[in-house]
């Protein structure tokens, strides 16, 4: 399985973590949700 590491500025990482926690998701799940939404707009 391939893996990917993305480096983010600390403020962006904090925002992602807060949003993920608010949605009761892991950061990884939240990033995948955001990517899925942007690739397949509703």
Position 41 scores a pLDDT of 66
Q: What is the mean pLDDT of each run of 10 residues along the chain (42 residues)?
A: 90 96 95 88 64
Element containing residue 38 per DSSP (H, E): helix 27-39
Return the residue matching tokens 């925002």.
Answer: 15
Position 30 scores a pLDDT of 95
Distance CA 35, CA 39 (A): 6
Position 42 scores a pLDDT of 63
Position 40 scores a pLDDT of 77
């Amino acid at each position: 399985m391939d893996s990917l590491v993305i480096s983010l500025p600390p403020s962006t990482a904090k925002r992602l973590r807060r949003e993920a926690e608010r949605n009761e998701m892991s950061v990884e799940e939240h990033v995948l949700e955001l990517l899925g939404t942007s690739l397949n707009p509703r």
